[in-house]
Structure 1
Amino acid sequence: MDEMPKQTESAKLSTLKSTAEIRLKNFMHEITGRALVMMESATQHQHGIAMDLVQEAFISLHKSYADKSTEEWYPLFYTILNNKLQDWRRKEARRNQPFSFFKKVSLDDDDIEQLDIVDENTPNPYHFLDQAVTAEEIQDAIAQLPVRQQQAFMLRAWEGFDVQTTAQIMNCSEGSVKTHYHRAIQALRSTLAHMDPHSGESSS
């Protein structure tokens, strides 16, 4: 008499697991490309490292948050990915700096002077410049930014997160996000303006 409830419960768990795996597969298909662009920029085009960081983030997401909704996965995934990137950067800094294990390695520039700016609308990264530049040129320009500016820009412009969510993902203040984002936009406009053959033409 007790076998049927146990079998039913087992079937439910199996169905839930299968559903989560399908959702994760679809989620990965939708987000992997953008996540790789972000990590390749942050790791100076080290494709293998970028792939590893993204895959590790997906594994951690599935292991710890399989029961969450797909919408909840977006900020969770990028929070995990940001943490893994920071861990990798700290290991690289220690490896490249002799005796750095004697002191705390600080990689973030969130203690920069924060600008008193109103939140800027999140633009489409391919349109906000209003210039005839390619996706590859935009990605190359992004890769030249400091990592925190890269993150702020791509989380806001690529993923469409608001300031509060971006700050939670990056583990910094909203003021820092606004400052990083503002400086990223200014730097990208300056860099990509030189790539636009029409930028210096007169309107007359």
Structure 2
Amino acid sequence: MDLAPKKSQPESLSTLKSTAEQRLKTFMHEVTGRALVMMESATQGQHGIAMDLVQEAFISLHKSYADKSTDEWYPLFYTILNNKLQDWRRKEARRAQPFSFFRKVSLDDDDVEQNDLVDERALNPAEFLDQAMTAEEIQEAIAKLPVRQQQAFMLRAWEGFDTQTTAQIMNCSEGSVKTHYHRAIQALRQTLAHMNPYLGGSSE
């Protein structure tokens, strides 16, 4: 019995596309909040810019990596987001210094690598929490950090990436990640110590 050829390939592609779009919606729902906090801190509270950067990163992720697994999306998304943030920062730096296109723009004043640091475990953000401490206070403390320290801390502590993956996302060496992360932890402990005596500050 002859059967008409089945149009299995177009249907399969359509299903794959639909599945990818559904996965992206789920992925966006999961990471948007944390990504926005990271970008708002990095852009000094400019919510509109932060939202644009996050949305552009999602668009690029779907356009170039829709066929990747959800697990692969996490480092890919933050790599794209970091690149877009650095592009925005360069444009802002050049806008502030009109003739900076004649020289390399330095975005970070703390980008000095310490080679003698032991790789610290990724902290649980709850370790910074206390009944008297609000999420807003913690976010304000993070926002005071240099941008690369913010990124290292939030990628490691909030997202749980290891040092190697964080270095790939931030496009720097593992030693630099260790340095940024270590300095971020020290600065946050100092800033938040008066709120939480368990971080080493005085309870008085």
Q: Structure 2 length normalisation: TM-score?
A: 0.92
Moved more, 92-101 or 150-159: 92-101
Moved more, 78-87 or 190-199: 190-199
- Cα distance in 2 between the residues matched to 1:100 and 1:177: 27
Name the structure 2 match of 1:122.
122
With over 3 angstroms needed to count, the CA separation of the structure-2 counterparts of 1:134 and 1:71, relative to structure 1, is same
8 Å CA contact retained: 1:110, 1:172: no
- Cα distance in 2 between the residues matched to 1:127 and 1:101: 43
> What is the letter of the counterpart of residue 153 of structure 1?
F
Q: For the aligned residues, what is the CA RMSD?
A: 2.1
8 Å CA contact retained: 1:152, 1:181: yes
- Deviation string, structure 1 residues 7-43 (Cα, Å, up to 9, x no partner): 2110000000000000000000000000000000000
- Cα distance in 1 between the residues matched to 2:65 and 2:78: 13
Name the structure 2 match of 1:71.
71
- Cα distance in 2 between the residues matched to 1:131 and 1:163: 30
Task: Name segments (4+ residues, structure 1) moved above 6 Å.
Answer: none
With over 3 angstroms needed to count, the CA separation of the structure-2 counterparts of 1:149 and 1:131, relative to structure 1, is farther
Name the structure 2 match of 1:200.
202
- Cα distance in 2 between the residues matched to 1:135 and 1:83: 27
> What is the letter of the counterpart of residue 201 of structure 1?
S
Name the structure 1 match of 2:169.
169
| 1:137 to partner: Cα distance | 0.8
Name the structure 1 match of 2:42.
42
Aligned identity (percent) is: 82
- Deviation string, structure 1 residues 110-130 (Cα, Å, up to 9, x no partner): 741415121111111122466
Q: Structure 1 length normalisation: TM-score?
A: 0.92
- Cα distance in 2 between the residues matched to 1:46 and 1:167: 26
> What is the letter of the counterpart of residue 112 of structure 2?
I
- Deviation string, structure 1 residues 40-79 (Cα, Å, up to 9, x no partner): 0000000000000000000000000000000000000000
Say whether 1:13 aligns with 2:19: no
Gaps of 5+ in 1: none
Name the count of aligned residue pairs: 201
Name the structure 2 match of 1:96.
96
8 Å CA contact retained: 1:149, 1:181: yes
